Amino acid sequence: MFESIESYLNGLKTALKDADPALVQDAVWDAEAHLSSGLAAMKVEHPELSQPEALASLLAAFGSPEEVAEAYLEREAMVAHALHPKGALTAGDADTPLAPWPGLFEVLRTPKAYTSLLYLVMSLGTGIFFFTWAVTGLSLSLGLFILIIGIPFAIAFLGSVRMLALVEGRLVEALLDVRMPRRPSLLPEGKGWLERLKSLLSDGHTWTSLAYLMLHLPLGVLFFTLMVTGLSLSISFMLAPFAHWFFGSTLTVDFGYGQLPHTGWILILNAVGGFFGLLGTLHLALALGRFQGYLAKHMLVRK
């Protein structure tokens, strides 16, 4: 029925056409790895079989694309239910609904707000690393391309871009709760340097991943600035009354014509304003986390 592993994988993609693209990438990776290794082992154990015969025997044991797709969807539903027992998210669907937005005070007991905040604060460090790696690797690849070591270096660099995209995807899934690939997209096996380089250059996933790594730095600077500023201002306003009451520090308000000491009600307003500023910062972290998850979903998942 299937003349090659590639035709089987196309059938599997068709069976999973309505599933999450990240799930499709994982399923294709698993199937290709299993079938490639199984076919190589069968050629050694049964050299009398032709390529189509060996593949047919292997696929008979592996299952049809529809059966494999159904098994993946069932397993994905089980994992999604275990991670989200309240049904906030349902993995496996290409149009996964977003979790309901928490209320003004409910955000304080929303774990995703804090994990999103952590991701946004970390994004400055990861952005610097990603940008440096991408720019350095790209410039060296172009500069060395005329030399004999240029092609293998370019393959290694572009392959590292895919691996960094996978690492970033795992971080996004862990902290932003967005289903991302858990398997890398494979390079063609049994091909020479030129064929592998051609595959990397012609695959749009390579370039969207590279663009994401370079875009991560300006976004990381913005995210870090907003989160650190929001947190520092909110916490300082909230702690201002305690600093005045417990440490006797004199807090003043400068109106331009002189400084007046804080009165008790101004101290209380400081704390209240800081508390609502903290709520706003957590809501902003959720919003920016959703934006970053959407960006990662559309740039780091192979279509």
pLDDT at 138: 93
Where b means 16+ CB within 10 Å and e means fewer, 77-93 reads: eeebeeeeeeeebbbbb
Instruction: Identify the CA nearest to 230 among candidates 276, 278, 283.
Output: 278
pLDDT at 116: 96
Structural contact between residues 201 and 194, judged by C-beta atoms closer than 8 angstroms: no
DSSP at 213: H
- CA-to-CA distance for 108 and 279, rounded, in angstroms? 7
pLDDT at 88: 45
- Average per-residue pLDDT for the chain: 84
pLDDT at 47: 82
DSSP at 300: S
Residue 161 clears pLDDT 80, i.e. is over it? yes
pLDDT at 97: 59
The dihedrals phi and psi of 254, each to the nearest 5 degrees, come to -100, 115
- CA-to-CA distance for 193 and 275, rounded, in angstroms? 59
Please report which confidence band the pLDDT of residue 123 belongs to, taking 50, 70 and 90 as the band edges. Answer: very high
pLDDT, tens digit (0-9, with 9 covering 90-100), for 242-261:
766 666 555 554 545 444 45
Residue 222, number of CB atoms within 10 A of its CB:
15
Max mean pLDDT among 95-109, 149-163, 221-235 falls in 221-235
Sequence spans of domains, the chain? 1-92, 106-303
